[in-house]
């Protein structure tokens, strides 16, 4: 099965709380397509494994369904944010590949 590729542009937001995890929310169209094509490969908490590239940084992680938006959310690791100068409110472009 070929790995689907998505280019996503989204604003970084921070989940309220002590940990302050940073996320982006995938748009509804991409999220619906991902669920339709790859939802059967979901893992714990409905997650799907992905490979993400932002700028010059690539890493493996997962996207998670978000009940609030109806889409998927992608957590952004602190080391990635530091390397790519990513802060809350910044719009970023990322490349996302589903790896079921």
pLDDT digits (tens, 9 = 90+) for 18-31: 878 999 999 999 99
- The enclosing domain of 85 has a CATH number of 2.40.30.100
* Residue-range definition of the domain harbouring residue 60: 5-98
What is the C-alpha to C-alpha distance for residues 8 and 94, in angstroms, rounded to an integer?
Answer: 5
For each successive 10 residues of the chain (100 residues), what is the average pLDDT?
Answer: 82 89 95 90 87 98 92 96 97 94
In the prediction, which pLDDT does 89 show?
A: 98
What is the C-alpha to C-alpha distance for residues 63 and 66, in angstroms, rounded to an integer?
Answer: 9
Nearest to 11 by CA among 70, 71, 82, 87: 87
Query: For the chain, how far is it from start to end, CA to CA, in angstroms?
Result: 9
Ramachandran bin of 36, using left for φ above 0, alpha for ψ from -120 to 50, beta for the remaining angles: alpha
Please tell me the total count of domains within the chain: 1
What length is written for the chain? Answer: 100
């Amino acid at each position: 099965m070929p790995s689907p590729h998505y280019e996503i542009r989204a604003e970084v937001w921070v989940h309220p709380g002590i940990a302050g995890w940073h996320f982006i929310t995938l748009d509804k169209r991409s999220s619906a397509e991902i669920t339709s094509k790859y939802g059967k490969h979901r893992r714990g908490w409905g997650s799907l494994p992905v490979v993400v590239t932002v700028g010059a940084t690539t890493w493996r992680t997962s996207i998670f369904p978000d009940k609030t938006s109806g889409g998927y959310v992608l957590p952004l690791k602190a080391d990635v944010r530091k390397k790519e100068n990513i802060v809350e409110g910044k719009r970023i472009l990322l490349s996302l590949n589903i790896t079921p």
